[in-house]
Structure 1
């Protein structure tokens, strides 16, 4: 849709889209980048992949659409990742002799992540994020184990998640803690319903022992429907 709208502005402008669909063929990725570097491409439209590590000296304007999207992900790292993404993509502009400009589309321009990225102020982001994570015992102030409970039957998935969460709470010794159960952000995948539980603790050995010993109390059928993610990269 963005590409189609851009072409309506001026049909004579050279526009190239770079995403998973346009880079499936061998060397397609390199050909697109070569066109930008040789300035045969005037507008490059793409996903996050165009902001990672590419040096385009001729680019003087970068536009970031829906900058809020990554902040809507139910993950405690969403703010940090939004800041990193905005900073990284914005860095594609003005890498040559001419100054660059960045335009950001956002529904929440006063959000601290947007402001920190605009001002290149990682310190302010840190000062807000640090107490939020420390209060909840999230990394780097604690360790995590993400438990994903799945079943082909919706009610069964919920009941098994609630049973496991209840057992964890019964066996938890402070400061071990549980968040959930809750429906996974991707609630249904390949015909299976998904619930998740987040187990937390400051000592990884105690955390892992608690989780493993609790899961061992379940029946083999219940255990078969559990996926364990230690130190999860994301919570989705």
Structure 2
């Protein structure tokens, strides 16, 4: 009877009382080891093949000694690079003797599952949701045509709008000095003294009075 078994990452064809050199095993000399990854067995012509291993089959062996294999020389060289490297290696081995081959009936030791912790009872507490009041959207302020004010052109109107002055009412509430600061970056000599007065007339819808006042002005300055 023989078997093909995997030992320390290698496959061997073994029979009873056979001595085999395998990669170093962890056991001490004289101790017994069991290998249960048996891939094939042949018992007087009765062949069993595993998928991949035969369930219940095992091979028992005794460790005779630990030793090192013959030295192997490893030489590396790179052409035209001046690179040469020479190393030696001796593989650590274990000599074992096969004692028995069991075709079936071997039981694999199963690890005991850790006891499951009792699940804690979950208590669900409903938290009342706070009512969220929807904010009432603010109505957009309709901008007035500030260019109707004597002395204000497109550039100044745009500058005032960036500062938040978009209506005649906004301009009427502004001080002339403050307006001058806002439009300081606009080229030209701009007199803002009459702009709040003109804006107030426009905001009140007094267009005739505004026209009479503007007839007296030249660039915002009285003629």
Task: Give the TM-score normalised by the residue count of structure 1.
Answer: 0.18
Larger Rg: 2
- Bigger helix share: 1
- Bigger strand share: 2
Task: Give the TM-score normalised by the residue count of structure 2.
Answer: 0.19
